[in-house]
Amino acid sequence: MIAVLKQDTSIQQRDSLINWFQSMGLEVHISEGDFHTIIGLIGDTSKVDIGLLESLSIIESVKRISEPFKNANRKFHAEDSIIDVNGNKIGGGHFQIIAGPCSVENHDQIIEIAQRVKASGATILRGGAFKPRTSPYDFQGLKADGIELLLEAKKLTGMPIISEIMNIKDLELFEEVDIIQVGARNMQNFDLLKELGRTKKNILIKRGLANNLKELLMSTEYIMAGGNENVILCERGIRTFETYTRNTLDLSAVPMLHELSHLPVVVDPSHATGLSRLVEPMAMAAAAAGADGLMIEVHNNPEKALCDGAQSLTPDQFDSVAKKVMKVREAVTL
């Protein structure tokens, strides 16, 4: 960690600061310049509260050299982590496609979609039971009944399932859910993360709309510090000024996260773009960028012919996407 002192810092203030650092067991190196004094801190600086330090009147700026995340950090864990979801491995060269509807609606819908996406190569079934919606007047999901329907689909197809949790009081409903999803809006719901850290469940955590990669990795730290290392990262688009797409998919996050962390990285092109016709090119691009998996929305709604071009792909469209993604994967990994 480096702290830069302001020009007008007195010797007394400087020494007081240095004593404070030394009292925390840190080694202190000083470089004096005409306009600034630079203090280099060597040792375990992960416990130094950078907010407190920055707030001191004598401090011009502070820079962390070591990343503040430990458990997710590749520096201390060089090999890729592999998350095993009922035999379907993610990470370390293993790639899985998660597919299914945005919301679980009824028995026939989830069963038919599950069978269709499985036939096309998806290995994990997604389906929303608890739905975070901007408006309280929009459909909020089938809740416990939605989880029940997912479990039926799991039983029938053998596919492991993933679903989003919004409230820790619902945790027991997720006992047989194979991956618990933390949505983008809850990425910094720290109480939820802490509770999930006490379980041994697989957790897929989505990057928040306005969160940088460091914050995403700090949020995994809340889970991992509790003892649960089964974490999958998910890039799903960030908020920018561009309006043609719902969000801006940040694919450079994939290799960057792989550099920073050993955790697997999955990409959700459906939510990132909000446009079904962009899912195919973005899914292929994500695979080419080195993603360890994809999460894609697929819907089948024969009675509503109007819905054929939803953000969700139809099963036929998904079949085409899955085939093309696999061709890209081959080109990339051979």
User: Within 255-274, which residues bind a second copy (CB under 8 A)?
Assistant: 255-256, 259-260, 272-274
Each residue 212-251 as x (binds a second copy by CB under 8 A) or -, in order, gives: xxxx--x--xx--x------------xxxxxxxx--xxxx
Q: Indicate whether 43 belongs to the interface with a second copy (CB under 8 A).
A: yes
Q: Which two tokens stand for residue 157?
A: 């197809």
CA distances (Å), origin 225, targets 128, 221, 318 = 27, 6, 37
Angle made by CA atoms 254, 256, 257, in degrees to the nearest 5: 70
252 near a second copy (CB under 8 A) = yes
Q: Among residue numbers 154 through 173, which ones bind a second copy (CB under 8 A)? A: 166-169
Establish if 208 lies at the interface with a second copy (CB under 8 A): yes
Please choose, out of 93-101, 110-118, 151-159, 203-211, the segment that lies near a second copy by the rule CB under 8 A: 203-211
Sequence-ordered list of residues with C-beta below 8 angstroms from that of 279, at least 6 positions apart, any chain: 269, 270, 273, 296, 297, 313, 317, 321
Q: 42: helix, coil or strand?
A: strand
Smallest gap from Cβ 251 to a second copy, in A, equals 5
- Supply the DSSP symbol for 174: G
- 276 belongs to the binding site for a second copy (CB under 8 A): yes
Pairing of strands 265-267, 293-297: parallel
Q: Which stretch binds a second copy (CB under 8 A): 23-31, 79-87, 113-121, 154-162?
A: 23-31
Span from 46-54, 108-116, 149-157, 171-179 in contact with a second copy (CB under 8 A): 46-54
Q: 187 near 213, Cβ under 8 Å?
A: no
Cα separation, 226 vs 168, in Å, equals: 15
Q: Report the alpha-carbon distance of residue 153 to residue 231 in Å, rounded.
A: 24
Residue 328: what residue type? Answer: V
Determine, following the binding rule CB under 8 A, whether residue 182 of this chain makes contact with a second copy.
no
Residues 95-154 that bind a second copy (CB under 8 A): 132-139
Q: Which two tokens stand for residue 126?
A: 């997604």
Member of 149, 161, 162, 284 binding a second copy (CB under 8 A): 284
- Residues making up the chain, counted from first to last: 334
Size of the site for a second copy (CB under 8 A): 115
What are the tokens at 32?
A: 């004096």
Per-residue string for binding with a second copy, 288-317, x by CB under 8 A?
xxx--------------xxxxxxxx-----
User: Considering only residues 60-89, where is the footprint of a second copy by CB under 8 A?
Assistant: 60-61, 63, 65-66, 68, 75
The residue (of 158 and 309) whose beta carbon lies closer to a second copy is 309
Q: What is the DSSP letter of 247?
A: S
